[in-house]
Structure 1
Amino acid sequence: MSLVEAVAHDGGIVELKLARPPVNALDPALCRDLRAALDAAVIAEARGIVLAGGPKVFSAGLDVPYLLGLGDDREALTSAWQSFFAAARAIASCPVPVVAAIAGHAPAGGCVLALCCDYRVMAAGDFRIGLNETQVGLVAPEGVQRLLRRAVGPARAERLLVMGDLVEAERALRIGLIDELVEIEQVTARAHAWLRQLLALPQDAMSQTRRIARAELVEALQPEHIQLERFIEAWSAPGTQYALRALVTRLGK
């Protein structure tokens, strides 16, 4: 059974919903299913895609307990992170527009997936989005930092990245991290509405312009800008492991 639910809508729009409750933690299975669902939608000639998460949590990011459970298995850790970045690249390089319907929190990996989308609609309220890697002793790869700089500008991205700041929804809108803020029950509908508006444009011109405009995003996620081996080294460091286990303990309470 797939961990991503696909529903076809009028006008060639396909909605893909992450379906790994309670928080859509991104383990290799979910990442593989997301990539497969994107490919299947394109093969079925979807004109646009809405990527949705769960209620109150779009995605909580990588499945930290799963990754910690891999221990010192460097091969398994590398494979798990490769699955995540492959899913991110699949969104970034998707030949049709992808809109993120963020009906809740989107930290870390959830934020990365949202940044790979063409447009981000988020729920108003006490929800947060951002890259909080430094809070657990990690350095966001250069490619991921490029995604944030592209959205909010270099100076603001620097501050957010260094602090590992998770931004509240209203501020996220002000700084350009998201594009729209609506009530939680309207998030998915508004994502569909924006996508329909985009798809009403002359398709050849829109598609070619989009491809040129997004080239830097696709480039950012190439392996040489992720340097996964260095990231895995940092992940395995004792201090990082301590911080990650402390995080899991806090979340479990």
Structure 2
Amino acid sequence: MSPIQTRAHGALTELRLARPPANALDPALCAALTQALRAAVDQGAEGIVLSGGPKVFSGGLDVPHLLALGEDRAALRSAWETFFAAAAALAECPVPVAAAIDGHAPAGGCVLALCCDYRVMARAPDPAKPYRIGLNEVQVGLVAPEGVQHLLRRVVGAYRAERLLVAGAMPDTDQALAIGLVDEAVPEGDAVARAAAWLDTLRALPRQAMLQTRAIAREDLVAALRPERIRLAHFLDAWYAKDTQAALRALVARLGK
């Protein structure tokens, strides 16, 4: 079964991350997302909703899988390249993409959301356990590449992005809305419908003017994901650092409880 579920909504296509329990981003899921994006456009989709959940939009990269690769640097590099290819496919998509975030979106999940044009995030039904989104890499001993940091800066501003990145902060839905990290906050279960509604507002515009304006406005986003802005070799050196490995293994131990 594909880790991506495709659903038609008229002229729109919904691509749902479907790798329970947390939609962890392993190479198979990332490659399937890249392929599904291309297929949707080839089949005439005028807009795409990227969804996940329930409860977790995506928990980020599949850290247990990555750690299991051990010292196989080539396999590790390939896994990360596959993830960044999926992010680039979202950034470069020739039609608008809206993220329907029905749950948590840390790290890689947040990266995918930031590559979309618009973000609709659900409020958790229990206010004491809110859904959260953010680039929390520093909390597990990683440094978000400069290009990834740019994705956050372009939506919340340079100073606020610095504060979030340095702390590895994970704002809840309403905090994310207040700082512009997400564009709408909705009750749980409404994110897909609201994301589709936003896409329909763009579909009502003169199409070529909208698409060409969008392409120009997103040039910096596309550029941020180029290899020279990610510096993957440098990132992998840091991955193998002793303190980073310890933090990652501690994370896996917490996830297993």
Give 2:239's match in structure 1, choosing from 231, 235, 249: 235
Deviations 1:111-160 (A, max 9, x none): 00000000000001300000001111111000000000001000000000
Instruction: Tell me what 2:2 maps to.
Output: 2
TM-score (norm 2): 0.97
Query: How many Å apart are 1:8 and its aligned residue?
Result: 1.4
How many Å separate the matches in 2 of 1:44 and 1:169? 34
1:64 and 2:63 are equivalent in the alignment: yes
Partner AA of 1:158 in structure 2: E
Q: What is the RMSD computed on CA atoms of the aligned residues?
A: 0.6
Partner AA of 1:35 in structure 2: T
Deviations 1:40-63 (A, max 9, x none): 001101100000002010000000
Alignment of 1:126-145 (within 5 A): 126-145=130-149
How many Å separate the matches in 2 of 1:209 and 1:184? 32
How many Å separate the matches in 2 of 1:17 and 1:48? 14
| Structure 2: gaps spanning 5 or more residues | 125-129
Partner AA of 1:222 in structure 2: R
Identity score, percent: 67
1:115 and 2:119 are equivalent in the alignment: no
1:177 and 2:176 are equivalent in the alignment: no
Partner AA of 1:208 in structure 2: Q
Instruction: Tell me what 1:246 maps to.
Output: 250
Instruction: Tell me what 1:210 maps to.
Output: 214
Query: How many Å apart are 1:74 and its aligned residue?
Result: 0.2
Alignment of 1:126-165 (within 5 A): 126-165=130-169
Partner AA of 1:132 in structure 2: N
Deviant stretches of 4+, over 6 Å: none
| Structure 1: gaps spanning 5 or more residues | none
Instruction: Tell me what 1:32 maps to.
Output: 31
TM-score (norm 1): 0.99
How many Å separate the matches in 1 of 2:204 and 2:63? 41
